[in-house]
Amino acid sequence: MSAESHRAAAPDRPVACAVITVSDTRTEADDHSGESIKRALREGGHTVDFYRIVPDDGEAIRAVLLHLAGQVEVVITTGGTGIGRRDTTVEVAERLIQKALPGFGELFRMKSYDQIGAAAMLSRATAGLYGAEDEPAGTLLFCCPGSQAAAELAVGELILPDLRHLAHEVVRKPAQPPGRVEFPVE
């Protein structure tokens, strides 16, 4: 099966999403990154079932992520991915992620480098599958930087083009394995 036909097998349906802005200073009035992400998801035909601004506090981030596990298919955070003292989104996410998607961060930094140069190395954007404690991973998590341009890059060029396919892969049942195969012993 080709990559294109594999992607095409994903149903053309809205994906249930949540958007979390991690910031000690943003309000709904000036959360341009969160608004950009919500708008892009809706324009892409998806739903935004949850939106919240949470402080740069590990326990607050963890609590909202655990609340959303299994409630939505995709969680996108913006903010807290840099190297600042209060940036803890990545540490919290990495403790919850059961199946990492390292390609997201790698591709984000590559594309970001084309826009901002060497400063792209300051981003610790990450992604993976996570679940509530003692539950299998079933929710996609994307942790994006807090700048509006970075959030738009991550969502517009990396997440949205494959969102239906990604969500489908999480729930897709694997093909049934063939019957038992015996290998000859010599």
pLDDT score for 53: 98
Token reading at 168: 């489908």
30/177: higher pLDDT: 30
- The DSSP symbol for 121 reads G
pLDDT digits (tens, 9 = 90+) for 67-114: 999 999 999 999 999 999 999 999 999 999 999 999 999 999 999 999
Phi, psi of 83 (to 5 degrees): -110, 10
The CA distance from 96 to 98, in Å, is 6
Q: What is the pTM of this model?
A: 0.89
